[in-house]
């Protein structure tokens, strides 16, 4: 082992972005003044207004987390039967469909950016299909134009899992404006966080009251409960964190961009290691993740072995997404998605967060190069 390359302390796969402590304390001091902790408090309303403006969308609603936001979106749209989705995603995407009593139908992904393969969607549509739930994987936008054409042709709803895509734009159009609903996760590990949290942007302003009702047990007035709901309200401490972090979001994305560019430049000569093409000028990225794809024969070792070796050098990586959602025993899916399986078996996400130093990134690159030569 080349001990001089080993980090003294673990370099984690991600690290939450935190605002200035005094700024956060100043913001939450309002809570002590008004004793309003949750249930559409003043900080929550202020946060929704500011984040709606930042995301450049017409309608928005906030939630305690992204997963429940996604479930509520499915319920609010009145979906039934089957939803076509991707297996190459976090378990939450699939679980939200099943928890709402619907069946996920898995479509394979394209090998270029790992988003749903639009050429294979139509073959999966049946008389039970009510929607397409696509994922902007690692912040890479789906082919929204093709999905829109398919949805209109078959009268389907479109939900985008935009958990990774906060702040992303396509042709200068904010990502939350595509489809019927988009869900953004504000989890601690994301580019932008509110500790935990979720957002829904949506086209039809008439569903806003329904979304807000379902997140509050289905209550529509003091004496009326019109839906079977849940408890998914964002609290004031989350809203305060969101307000504070929103002030630094562009700076943090800029830092992430420098890290990603450093990875790309440093790893471009490594045999058997492939990265996603990020040269599309039509996409404004948020640099949420940096995945590498390992060809074991060319690289000299498997993804799994590289994962173990990097851990020995205190570099924490993640097999993200592995296993595939249609390979998880709890779902018992019989569908075959060979491209997604190949990507899942060989993908590795490297450490990336705003405060990760460029020197540490260069050291990670040197470690990977060292194993590539062995």
Query: Which backbone phi and psi does 220 adopt, to 5 degrees?
Result: -110, -20
- 74-91 pLDDT, tens digit per residue, is 999 999 999 999 999 999
Task: Give the model's pLDDT for residue 186.
Answer: 98
Question: Can you give the pLDDT at residue 110?
Answer: 96
pLDDT tops 90 at residue 331: no
Task: Calculate mean pLDDT across residues 108-119.
Answer: 97
Q: What is the pLDDT of residues 198-257, one digit of tens each?
A: 999 999 999 999 999 999 999 999 999 999 999 999 999 999 999 999 999 999 999 999
pLDDT classification of 335: cutoffs 50, 70, 90? confident
* Rounded CA separation 26/244 (Å): 10
Instruction: Return the half-sphere exposure (C-beta side, CA atoms, 13 A cut-off) of residue 152.
Output: 7
Mode of pairing for the β-strands spanning 82-85 and 129-135: parallel
Q: pLDDT grade, residue 278 (50/70/90)?
A: confident
pLDDT at 330: 86
Please name which of 204, 234, 208, 205 lies closest in space to residue 220, comparing C-alpha atoms. 208
Domain map (residue ranges) of the chain: 21-246, 249-373
Determine the topology of domain 249-373 in CATH: 3.90.1150
Per-residue pLDDT for 2 more than 80? no
pLDDT for 279 beyond 90: no
Confidence at 282, pLDDT banded by 50, 70, 90: very high
pLDDT digits (tens, 9 = 90+) for 88-104: 999 999 999 999 999 99
pLDDT-above-70 percentage for the chain: 99
CATH number of 21-246: 3.40.640.10
> In whole numbers, what is the pLDDT of the chain averaged over residues?
96
Q: Write the DSSP symbol of residue 135.
A: E
Closest CA to 75 of 219, 216, 210: 210
CB-CB neighbours of 241 under 10 Å: 26
Reported as a single tens digit per residue, the pLDDT across 250-274 is 999 999 999 999 999 999 999 999 9
Extract the tokens encoding 110: 């394209």
357: its two tokens: 């130093």
Q: What is the mean pLDDT of residues 283-294?
A: 98
Q: pLDDT tier at 333 (50, 70, 90 boundaries)? A: confident
Per cent of the chain over pLDDT 90 is: 94
What integer pLDDT is reported at residue 374 of this predicted model?
Answer: 63
Which of 49, 9, 15, 28 has the alpha carbon at shortest distance from 246? 49
- What's residue 334's pLDDT? 78
Q: Residue 1 above 90 pLDDT?
A: no
Partnered with residue 60 across adjacent β-strands are: 201
pLDDT number for residue 329:
86
Structure tokens of 285? 């990225």
Please tell me the pTM assigned to this model. Answer: 0.96
Q: Return the pLDDT at 27.
A: 98
Residue 319 reports pLDDT greater than 80:
yes
């Amino acid at each position: 082992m080349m001990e001089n390359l080993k980090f003294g302390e673990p370099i984690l796969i991600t690290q939450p972005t935190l605002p200035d402590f005094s700024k956060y304390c100043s913001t939450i001091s309002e809570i002590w003044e008004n004793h309003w902790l949750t249930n559409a408090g003043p900080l929550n309303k202020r946060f929704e207004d500011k984040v709606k403006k930042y995301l450049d969308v017409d309608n928005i609603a906030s939630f305690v987390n992204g997963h429940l936001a996604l479930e509520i979106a499915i319920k609010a749209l009145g979906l039934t039967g089957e939803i076509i989705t991707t297996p190459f995603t976090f378990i939450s995407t699939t679980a939200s469909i099943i928890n709402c009593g619907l069946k996920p139908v898995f479509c394979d992904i394209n090998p270029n950016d790992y988003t749903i393969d639009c050429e294979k969607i139509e073959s999966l549509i049946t008389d039970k299909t009510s929607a397409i739930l696509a994922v902007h994987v690692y912040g890479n936008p789906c082919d929204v134009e093709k999905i829109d054409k398919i949805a209109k042709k078959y009268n389907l709803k479109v939900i985008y899992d935009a958990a990774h895509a906060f702040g992303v734009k396509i042709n200068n159009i904010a990502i939350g404006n595509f489809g019927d609903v988009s869900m953004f996760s504000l989890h601690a590990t994301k580019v932008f966080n509110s500790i935990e949290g979720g957002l829904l942007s949506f086209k039809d302003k008439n569903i806003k009251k329904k979304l807000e009702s379902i997140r509050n047990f289905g209550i529509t007035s003091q004496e009326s409960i019109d839906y079977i709901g849940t408890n998914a309200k964002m609290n004031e401490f989350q809203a305060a964190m969101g307000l504070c972090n929103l002030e630094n979001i562009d700076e943090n994305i800029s830092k992430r961009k420098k890290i990603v560019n450093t990875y790309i430049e440093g790893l471009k000569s490594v045999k058997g290691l492939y990265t996603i093409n990020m040269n599309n000028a039509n996409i404004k990225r948020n640099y949420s993740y940096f995945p590498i794809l390992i060809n074991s024969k060319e690289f000299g070792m498997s993804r799994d072995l590289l994962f173990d070796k990097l851990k020995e050098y205190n570099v924490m990586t993640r097999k993200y997404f592995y296993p595939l959602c249609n390979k998880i025993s709890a779902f018992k899916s019989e569908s075959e998605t060979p491209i997604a399986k190949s990507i899942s078996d060989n993908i590795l996400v490297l450490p990336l967060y705003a405060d990760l130093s460029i020197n540490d990134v260069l050291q990670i690159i040197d470690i990977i190069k060292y194993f590539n030569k062995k």
